[in-house]
Amino acid sequence: MTTPSPPRSSAALGALLIVAAFACVAVMSALGKALVGISTGMLVFFQSAFSLCLLAPWALRTDVPSLRTSRVVLHALRAGAGLLSQVLMFVAVKRMPLADAVLLSNSAPLFIPLVTWIWLKEHISGVVGASLLFGFVGVILILRPSRALLDNPVALIAITAALCSALALVAVNQLATTEPGWRILFYYFLFSSMASAPLAIWTWRRPTAREWLFLAGVGLMMASSQLLIILAYRHAPPGRIAPFNYTVVLFSGLLGWVVWHDTPGMLAVAGALLVIAGGVLSTRFGGRHTEGHPGWVGRWKHFFHREDAG
């Protein structure tokens, strides 16, 4: 029996919520770029710790035994890949135009079919293969390979962030077969806070009042984006609204232009369009592992509805 499509108003609300979620991601990235005097270790620690503080009361709303899991290793793998993705993304946004860094860091859909092929032995269809080709041509246009790229490989750092993000997403979707969504998020923020704490201590310096405000903003935007993604996928299926994920590029480009006066060239614009086209096609035709948010939380609608149904 075919599941009926949600009403148009519900799908429109889901699209609006996902756009708001990725506006939060763009603002979070811009705040990270603005915190030039704060180390990346401090950034990712406050991002995770603030989100953990917001999530913990919800996760503990029933009882502590509900946090028990038999998949600690996979939780740790997901947290490690996700944390590394965030570290590399913040490194990139501080050293290159905001829109380019955010786009490259969020190009995980181009890598997910490769990760599932290597890890889960899943076949890559012809349509997905073509979409990956489009996307990687776009990446090349943005990177503009040259000797300068080797001298300053920050764009390659952003691409590596997307690869780590893809690994994290596939791990999330493996966890989603047995774990409720709130538990996956709880362990992600817990492990990420624990892993980034030594980095934050090692590179610690006392933030100014303005920097404290921006650090709180990074954590708030991260937590807000996750909440909005949850709500979005409760109103519409991933295939309908996943393309709106790439509105993060528009928001980042606008912020980069207004705040840092970044103006993309024609090759960068053409490359961005190809990356977006490749990512959307890969999300649409790449199977269940490409659904949802590319990198952090995975198929929200699947495992939150499953939990609610229980």
Q: Are 196 and 83 in contact (CB under 8 A)?
A: yes
Q: Of the given ranges (28-32, 64-68, 276-280), which has the lowest mean pLDDT? A: 64-68
Tokens of 132: 């990956």
3 part of a folded domain: no
114 part of a folded domain: yes
Work out the percent of the chain whose per-residue pLDDT is above 90: 31
Tokens of 123: 């076949």
228 part of a folded domain: yes
Q: Which amino acid, residue 83?
A: L
Given pLDDT bands bounded at 50, 70 and 90, which one contains residue 103?
Answer: confident
SS3 category, 180:
coil
Q: What is the pLDDT of residue 286?
A: 59
Q: Considering its fold, how many domains does the chain have in total?
A: 1
Angle at 95 between CA 89 and CA 96, to 5 degrees: 85
Q: What is the pLDDT of residue 140?
A: 81
1 part of a folded domain: no
Q: What is the pLDDT of residue 297?
A: 43
The structure's pTM equals: 0.81
* Dihedral (CA of 7, 8, 12, 15) sign: positive
Q: What is the pLDDT of residue 310?
A: 37
Please state, in angstroms and rounded to a whole number, the distance separating the CA atoms of residues 7 and 86: 35
Secondary structure letter of residue 236 according to DSSP: S
Please state, in angstroms and rounded to a whole number, the distance separating the CA atoms of residues 94 and 115: 27
Tokens of 184: 């996956």
Q: What is the average pLDDT across 150-169?
A: 86
Q: What is the pLDDT of residue 137?
A: 83
Domain containing 248: what range? 8-309
110 part of a folded domain: yes
pLDDT in tens, 280-292: 777 666 555 555 4
- Tell whether the model's pLDDT for residue 201 goes beyond 90: yes
235 part of a folded domain: yes
